[in-house]
């Protein structure tokens, strides 16, 4: 019997592009690439942070999600995939026993307590040096002042992001935060393509089930999607990508493939070596159209695929 060492490619699966992760970014990549891509997802379901859970017969999203996009093609993609319902955005904050319209920083004057109103107003007037903030926590203080930040912004954002705000960057988060009253929205994103939702925004949600239904529906259009395949290593020397699913790990041949990771900052991906393309970035709910990393845009992936055809 010949050893597998003398036939290194015998048990390996070949693919033009290997996409790690079936969150919105990975699914977007796969849809853009068509049947030349293999998607490997560590969980037993798709959607990443946009997935929904069923608990005691009720549907829960992993954090409140709604769908909106400035890109007609992305809207068509989602609305063709499943039935969506739309409505004008109508959001409120529950604060110290009263309802205040969201975003709080634009409606704190509705607070019943005069001291709280005053603290917000004074802080806001003293604020304004936010462009050089070192992190998101500092950004909130600098942009909105102490009153608004302590009363609402800090506790709300800690809960929303589930993270220490001093460890979050301002570049891609601050662009999601509405400006104070009377201040024009200024998009902080480097690519200048994102701004917070306006008061008039119309948002959409699946007519049935949770937000995750969008990604379940899109996943049906992906040619080769493999669940329970956590990528554990990529070895450039042997051109081998390994996954584990608790059974025999399959090996993927990366000698002529592009490898793109949906979110390599997550702990699981931190262990990866040799990831070629870097992250798809954070605007991936636009299902692929807004990747902003240096070398992993859908166009680049597609052109590389063409380039590598024999």
Ligand X SMILES: Cc1cc2nc3c(=O)[nH]c(=O)nc-3n(C[C@H](O)[C@H](O)[C@H](O)COP(=O)(O)OP(=O)(O)OC[C@H]3O[C@@H](n4cnc5c(N)ncnc54)[C@H](O)[C@@H]3O)c2cc1C
Site of interaction with ligand X (CB under 6 A): 20-26, 40-43, 48-50, 63-66, 160, 230-231, 262-263, 266, 268-269, 280, 282, 284-285
Letter string b/e over residues 210-243, b meaning 16 or more CB atoms within 10 A of that residue's CB: bbbbbbbbbbeebeebeeebbbeebeeeebbbbb
Most distant CA atoms of the chain, gap in Å:
85
Q: Which is nearer to ligand X, 123 or 210 (CB)?
A: 210
| Least distance (Å) between residue 129 CB and ligand X | 28
| Least distance (Å) between residue 267 CB and ligand X | 8
DSSP per position, 57-89: TEEEESS---B--S-HHHHHHHHHHS-EEEEE-
| Least distance (Å) between residue 215 CB and ligand X | 9
> Beta strand 202-206 with 84-88: parallel, antiparallel or unpaired?
antiparallel
Q: Which is nearer to ligand X, 86 or 98 (CB)?
A: 86
| Least distance (Å) between residue 260 CB and ligand X | 11
Q: Which is nearer to ligand X, 74 or 100 (CB)?
A: 74
Q: Which is nearer to ligand X, 141 or 263 (CB)?
A: 263
CA atoms within 13 A on the CB side of 78: 30
Q: Which is nearer to ligand X, 22 or 31 (CB)?
A: 22
Residues in the chain: 310
CA atoms within 13 A on the CB side of 246: 5
Tokens encoding 31: 């849809």
| Least distance (Å) between residue 276 CB and ligand X | 14
């Amino acid at each position: 019997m010949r050893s597998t060492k003398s036939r290194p490619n015998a048990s390996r699966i070949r693919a033009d592009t290997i996409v790690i992760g079936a969150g919105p970014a990975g699914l977007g990549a796969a849809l853009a690439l068509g049947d030349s891509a293999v998607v490997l997802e560590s969980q037993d379901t798709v959607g990443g942070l946009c997935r929904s859970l069923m608990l005691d017969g009720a549907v829960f999203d992993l954090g409140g999600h709604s769908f909106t996009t400035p890109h007609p093609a992305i809207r068509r993609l989602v609305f063709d995939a499943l039935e969506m319902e739309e409505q004008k955005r109508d959001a409120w904050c529950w604060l110290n026993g009263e309802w205040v319209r969201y975003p709080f920083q634009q409606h704190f004057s509705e607070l019943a307590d005069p001291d709280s109103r005053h603290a917000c107003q004074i802080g806001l007037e003293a604020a304004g040096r936010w462009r050089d903030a070192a992190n998101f926590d500092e950004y909130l203080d600098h942009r909105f002042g102490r009153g608004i930040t302590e009363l609402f912004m800090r506790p709300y954002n800690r809960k929303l992001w589930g993270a220490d705000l001093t460890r979050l960057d301002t570049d891609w988060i601050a662009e999601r935060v509405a400006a104070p009253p009377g201040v024009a929205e200024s998009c902080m994103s480097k690519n200048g393509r994102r701004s917070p939702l306006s008061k008039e925004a119309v948002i959409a949600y699946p007519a049935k089930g949770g937000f995750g239904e969008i990604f379940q529906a899109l996943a049906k259009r992906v040619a080769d999607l493999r669940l329970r395949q956590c990528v554990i290593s990529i070895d450039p020397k042997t051109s081998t990508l390994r996954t584990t699913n608790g059974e025999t790990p399959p090996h993927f041949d990366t000698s002529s493939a592009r490898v793109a990771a949906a979110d390599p900052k997550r702990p699981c991906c931190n262990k990866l070596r040799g990831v070629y393309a870097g992250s798809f970035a954070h605007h991936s709910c636009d299902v692929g159209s807004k990747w902003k990393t240096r070398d992993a845009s859908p166009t680049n992936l597609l052109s590389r695929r063409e380039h590598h055809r024999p």
